[in-house]
Structure 1
Amino acid sequence: MAAVISGPIPSPGRASKRMKGVLPSKQGAWIFDATKDQYLAMWCFATLKNHALEISRPHAITSNPRFAGQTVTQLASTLALQIARFVLAEALTEGTPLTERMLAKRFDVSRSPIRVALRELEQAGLLRVSARGGYQLADPQAAADLSDETASDNAEDIYLAIARDRLAGEIPDRISENELLRRYPVTRPRLLALLRQMSEEGWVERLPGNGWRFLPVLTSMQTYRQSYSFRQAIEPAALLEPGFQLNTAELERHLCQQRGLVSGAIHTISSVQLFVQNSAMHQAIIDCSGNTFFIDSLRRVDRLRRLIEYRQIVDRAQARLRCAEHVRILELVLDGRNAEAAGEMRMHLAALGPIKAYTAGASLDHPHAHR
């Protein structure tokens, strides 16, 4: 499981004194991998040195690979969504008991995150405490609201409004559900579904009670530009890893998706879905490297830059050109021409960084332009 430590990165000397087994890095940026209680360190996030660090530790809250890398809080929010979908799939009726033991076994997790998830679902109105203790189904209809984030016509508008307001500093680090309900025209079940989506994406987490905390993201243009410089260092290198292994089915799926965007879908896709598809494509390529540090690093950069990306006014013509470059890179990778693909990736990111920085800067200068 990935544990997060927020704050500035300590100097190599101070870190070495505090953390037994840590190898100092002259760049002062750290990621750790725990194997048999020994920690290995490597250069990473040098350009993002004031953001949170991730430390991989052995964990026992789940053996299910679907939930790997999530904190207990993030896992609970993910499980709440999965439980709502389970209620729908099984067509459960009001009064049906839902026990921690049964759900923990079904989702292959410990009972602790299940317990937190059940409390969330009680607050959402899906469950109630039964007379004999434990939980039972209170409102099956709430499961439909919770399990389908896109059912409401204005769901994405609300999602983007929260992202914009957070980036503009109009939402504090900690906020209650009631305050969010006062700010935005959304029902509580729909709001909770959106918050769970944000939690799965890694930019918000639940607090005890009905509060939520927004996690650090990139908010300045300097760090946003640095994120692209960092990607130019790791993504081409990942393509040249000796252990690179094709996931042909996954890359072909992304190739089909990118060809569809080039063929015209780019003009109708939402900005959120465009970011999701494009970032997933880059992640799918780097996943093939088998290098844990590259893989986790890109995932973290995507989380940090997500809100600035959402704020951008999408230039559809430019976006189509970028997708055409994606097609070229994917074709080269699938053809086994990784050295050429690495060169194309480097040029792609070098060209993309200034374009994105310019449009993101315009969005930051006009924070309400999208409304």
Structure 2
Amino acid sequence: MARSHIADAAKVVPLAAAVTTLAETIRVALAEEIIAGRLAPGTEIDEQQAAERFGASRTPLREALRELAAAGLVTIEPRRGVRVAALTLERLGEMFEVMAETEAMCARLATHRMTAPERFALQALHEASAATVGAGDVGAYDALNREFHSALYRCTHNGFLAEHAQALRLRLAPFRRAQLDGTDRLRRSFAEHAAVLREVLRGDGEEAGRQMRAHMLTAGASLASTMRGPG
């Protein structure tokens, strides 16, 4: 019975997780350039040039810029345009600290509140991401990674907490995606998910929360290392 539930869940997961909008493609590309330092703080992002570069209209471009502004990566000022913001490592650490505590709470509550079908679905999500790790497919892994975390939010069966966690996740989305580009980060992220899942399936909410907190703080440290660059 368990295998049947897992197989059914695995069929649905890739379709739901693989959808990528043009706005998201633009957001990811610009975020990676900003975080890697290829777009320096203060650099103006010309909307017309950016739209032409991505072969997009102003609508998806502006949606991407709004998301980047919410994450603190750019500033948008009326009549003055869009500029790359200065982001300190201290600020980044604060953001991931809040995210780590929020996700730890979600993992702890979800462990005790999720239903059997929800457990099977979470396990299926994790198993589906294994192939993307082997292929080194960051985009596909990122989509399944988002769904893994979102599933835990829903499994808390606390609507307010789930909404808060999702809103925070959206705000930090550019950073969470960029940290996956770190050396061997896909494999390590997958192993960290496995540790969380193991405790969830064992029913140890406290340990699941601790593993999730460590997972998020490790992600933040990986991103900080990327931003500091070599040396």
The bucket for the TM-score relative to the shorter chain is 0.5 to 0.7
TM-score by length of 1: 0.42
Partner residue of 1:284? 151
The structure with the largest strand share of the pair is 1
Report deviation, 1:278.
1.8
> Which of 106, 113, 116 lines up with 1:238 in the alignment?
106
Unaligned runs of 5+ in 2: 1-18, 71-75
Partner residue of 1:306? 173
Matches within 5 A, 1:306-325: 306-312=173-179, 313-316=181-184, 318-325=185-192
1:215–1:273: structure 2 CA closer, same or farther, 3 Å change rule? farther
TM-score by length of 2: 0.61
1:255 aligns to 2:123 (yes or no): yes
Q: Deviations for 1:249-305, whole angstroms, at most 9, x for unmatched residues?
A: 55534422322333x420325434433322331221122223344323322332333
Partner residue of 2:210? 346
Q: Distance in 1 between matches of 2:197 and 2:51?
A: 43
The structure with the largest helix share of the pair is 2
Partner residue of 2:194? 327
Q: Deviations for 1:52-104, whole angstroms, at most 9, x for unmatched residues?
A: xxxxxxxxxxxxxxxxxxxxxxxxxxxxxxxxxxxxxxxxxxxxxxxxxxxxx
Matches within 5 A, 1:1-371: 149=21, 156=25, 159-167=27-35, 168=37, 170=40, 177-181=47-51, 185-189=53-57, 192-193=59-60, 196=63, 198=64, 202-203=67-68, 219-241=87-109, 245-246=113-114, 249=117, 251-262=119-130, 264-312=131-179, 313-316=181-184, 318-330=185-197, 332-333=199-200, 335=201, 337-338=202-203, 340-350=204-214, 352-353=216-217, 355-366=218-229
Larger Rg: 1
Q: Distance in 2 between matches of 1:283 and 1:310?
A: 15
1:248–1:178: structure 2 CA closer, same or farther, 3 Å change rule? farther
Structure with the greater relative contact order (CA < 8 A, sep ≥ 6): 1 or 2? Answer: 2
Q: Distance in 2 between matches of 1:174 and 1:247?
A: 49
1:280–1:195: structure 2 CA closer, same or farther, 3 Å change rule? farther
Unaligned runs of 5+ in 1: 1-146
Q: Distance in 2 between matches of 1:278 and 1:291?
A: 21
Q: Distance in 1 between matches of 2:44 and 2:115?
A: 40
Q: Distance in 1 between matches of 2:186 and 2:135?
A: 12
CA-atom RMSD, angstroms? Answer: 4.4
4+ residue runs over 6 A deviation: 171-174, 211-216
1:323–1:212: structure 2 CA closer, same or farther, 3 Å change rule? farther
Contact 2:44 2:83 in 1 (8 A): yes
